[in-house]
Structure 1
Amino acid sequence: MDRLSALLLQFGFSADTFFEGTFCGSNHFPAQPGRGHLHLVREGPVTFVHADGTRLRIDAPTLILYPRPQAHGLDTGAGTARLLCATVHLPGDDGAVIDSLPPYLQLPLAQLPAMAGLLDLLFDEAQHGGLGQKLVLNRLCDVLIVQLLRHALAKHLMSAACMLGPSDAALANAMTAMRDHPGHHWTVASLATLCGMSRSRFARQFHAVIGCPPAEYLTGQRMLRAQALLQQGRLVQDVALEVGYASQPAFTRAFRAYSGLSPRDWLAQGAN
């Protein structure tokens, strides 16, 4: 059994769909112990509003996962949106998987081609399902969440430290350093020193356990920090320097390779 499967069996979540269809107006979801939320926006626009005042406008088909209890609202303004919503029942809010995730995951469906077949099944069941529809929708949402976590790991949207076994725990030192200080000029040698390993052993073990070279993991952490800074209104050239790039063109090339868009286009499309 692979580590993600073993971790998810221990995690023990389950989804419970409670709405599918056209929605207009606004609704509020309080933070409830042991519950997260999954929202599938098939058609927008819809704006998600958070307790800290931040707002997340969704225009294109998008998945939103709140992996831990978090108060939030949604508002369609004067228009309507097509939604599928589910509560995610959690075994507790201190698990390794939950702790490794950001407050929410926002993933445009256009960036999830591997999930197209599953989403087609989910949409078809929501529209045409018969007896047992709710059970089928719940199970499909369970699979969707697993796929989301797989995607989040592959794109470094969540920390792979939650999957480290006892023999790999030293790697967490390097992962934490890259996450907390992505703008630092990290080298394989300096990261290996943090883990008490030789360069060759560190590089080999990191790739085997995390699934990518240290440099790729660092790029992912830099891009996540850059996206957060861009959303705060920081200038592109300032963001480039803060996340470790010597020039704005070098940063823009890396950002485009990571997201498929330039920083300004990414901001314009709201594709964080």
Structure 2
Amino acid sequence: MDKISSLVGRYSFRARVFFNGVFCDANSFPEDPAAGQLHLIRSGPVVFRQDGAEPLRVDEPAMVFYPRGSAHTLEIPDGASAILLCAHISFEDGGANPLARALPDRLYQPLNEMGALRQTLELLFTEAASPSQGREVILDRLCDVLMVQVLRNEFDKGEMSVGLLAGLADRQLSLALAAIHERAHEPWQLTSLARLACMSRARFTEHFRNVVGMPPGEYLTRWRIGMAQNLLRKGLPVKVVSAQAGYTSAPAFTRAFTTMVGCSPRQWLKEAAPA
């Protein structure tokens, strides 16, 4: 499985369209740690405002995406109107999701600069204008597709500085990350991971922290606990989950899980089940 597919399969997200049509007012979006906001502009003008950043005016078809739910305001100038499609992108674990953290705080792409993403965006605009039944479901699914393409596009450009995608784009770190992702159950040590990356322990630790944004040991633990959460949701018992996540015993897994999440696996599952 390729790198982006394995990540999307592990770190899930879901798109839900909440506005589709003509807009001629203003709307403020408070900070939302649980979901990002995707704004697709079919026709402008639209002005986006965010504390600490210059206002962004969009007149042509484009995409504006706030992956970590940063507070922002969307305004239509007096006397004008715009055609918009807006969606909430709910990442599992919210802003802590590595996919959300790997993207910039705000991503702006004009339609004429989107390459392969342009076809998906045009499909979205066409479906949004259609009165056919099933439109809402199709729009949600197309937003899902667009998000995967956005991640692939950022990965291919190689412009990420810190984060999981940057690590996967790094020729040496990607070897260690792939091993963790594909064989999390193995008894990985710093030495064995550094050997996979063809680096010394000290150099590997420093480079990993600088590129991915956390030490290798913390990343390994986060990946294992995240994988365990998916297995727990599927109904597997704690003893089985602990082994598949790379822990030598259920008590050791429970201690690591509690330290990372703040509650035991069974308590977490009980609280997560309604969501």
- 29-38 vs 47-56, which deviates more? 47-56
Please say which structure displays the higher CA radius of gyration: 2
Distance 1:51 1:143, change over 3 A: same
Match of 1:134 in 2: 136
Task: Tell me the SS of whatever aligns to 1:32.
Answer: coil
2-structure distance, mates of 1:38, 1:95: 17
Match of 1:80 in 2: 81
1-structure distance, mates of 2:20, 2:137: 14
| Contact 2:167–2:208, Cα closer than 8 Å, also in 1 | no
Q: Deviations over 1:89-120 (max 9, x none)?
A: 11122122222221011011101131233223
Percent identity of paired positions between Structure 1 and Structure 2: 38
Deviation of the 1:9 alpha carbon? 1.3
Distance 1:37 1:90, change over 3 A: same
2-structure distance, mates of 1:143, 1:129: 21
Deviation of the 1:172 alpha carbon? 7.8
Alignment of 1:136-175 (within 5 A): 136-159=138-161, 160-163=165-168, 164=174, 165=177, 166=180, 167-168=196-197, 170=204, 173=207
Task: Tell me the SS of whatever aligns to 2:77.
Answer: strand
Tell me the TM-score normalised to structure 1 length: 0.60
2-structure distance, mates of 1:16, 1:142: 9
Number of aligned positions between the proteins: 178
> Which of 98, 101, 107 is matched with 1:99 structurally?
101
Task: Tell me the SS of whatever aligns to 1:77.
Answer: coil
Tell me the TM-score normalised to structure 2 length: 0.59
Match of 1:246 in 2: none
Alignment of 1:25-44 (within 5 A): 25-44=25-44
Match of 2:127 in 1: 125
Distance 1:173 1:48, change over 3 A: same
Deviation of the 1:61 alpha carbon? 1.2
| Contact 1:161–1:172, Cα closer than 8 Å, also in 2 | no
> Is 1:89 aligned to residue 123 of structure 2?
no
Distance 1:115 1:99, change over 3 A: closer
Over the residues paired in the alignment, what is the CA RMSD in angstroms?
A: 2.4
Match of 1:193 in 2: none
1-structure distance, mates of 2:90, 2:208: 32
2-structure distance, mates of 1:101, 1:115: 16
1-structure distance, mates of 2:149, 2:91: 17
Q: Deviations over 1:182-202 (max 9, x none)?
A: xxxxxxxxxxxxxxxxxxxxx
Deviation of the 1:162 alpha carbon? 4.6
1-structure distance, mates of 2:166, 2:114: 23
Deviation of the 1:174 alpha carbon? 8.2
Match of 1:23 in 2: 23
Deviation of the 1:52 alpha carbon? 2.8
Deviation of the 1:4 alpha carbon? 0.8
> Gaps (5+ residues) in structure 2?
169-173, 181-195, 214-275
Task: Tell me the SS of whatever aligns to 2:92.
Answer: coil
